[in-house]
Each structure stands twice: as structure tokens, then as C-alpha cells.
Amino acid sequence: MAQIQKMGGPYTKKEQEIRKNKVFELHFEKGHSAVQIAKMLDVNRNTINKDIESWYLEIHDDQSNTNKNWFDKQLLRLESQRARLQECLVDGLSSKERLQIEKSITHIDLSIASLIVKIETSKKYKNL
């Protein structure tokens, strides 16, 4: 993945757009944290946090079908994965296997909750 050349702003509009699109891909599609993305792109973590916050606001504010469908699709993917894992919890699993599956289910539940909380939080801050 190509890195953005400079460390620190100000960024041109083109550089901002390229960075924000990379942040979207890395955070929303690949699940990387802001700290991981900042290291990957060699950009200040606060800049990445602002980009992520901006995406959450856009997802919330933009009532277009594209963003609504994306949000619904992400939730459906997580819920489907959770259901498949739940089916794997059958009798005869070792304690270690059962614990790994339960840990994955918990991680999915937290991911769903986190997504919803971030969108709701961005909605509250926008209304202040």
C-alpha cells in the first residue's frame, strides 16, 4: 500500500480525499484501529481519528441508499458470522475450542455495539 509522503498538515484537498478513502477502507472494510492506520499511512493518529469521526458523521447524516445499505450490510455480515459461530457451539467441543468460539462471538457483539455507539455519539455531538 502506498504511503502518503508527508507527516503533518496542512494537506491539500486531493491529499485529504486520498487519505480519507484509505482510512475508510482500512477502518471500515478491514477493521484496523486508528493507531494501526496512522502507522500504516505515516500520519498523525489525531488526523486519522478525525477522518474516522468524519466518516461516522457522513454515514449518519447521509440518508442515501448507498450508506444505509453499507451500514445494513455490515450489520448483516457481523450477525451472520455470529450465527455461524453460535452453530459451532455443539456438545463435544474441548474447553479451549468452546472458549475460542465464545471469545469470537463476544468480539462480534462488541463490534456491533461499537458501530452503533459511534454513530449515535456522532449524532449527539452534531446536535450540540
3-state secondary structure of 4: coil
Confidence of residue 96 (pLDDT cuts 50, 70, 90): very high
Work out the average pLDDT over 9-23.
87
Residue 91 grid coordinates: 456438545
Residue 41: what residue type?
L
- pLDDT (tens digit, 9 = 90+) per residue, 52-89? 888 877 776 655 555 566 777 788 788 888 888 888 88
Q: How far apart are CA 2 and CA 45, in angstroms?
A: 18
* pLDDT for position 38: 93
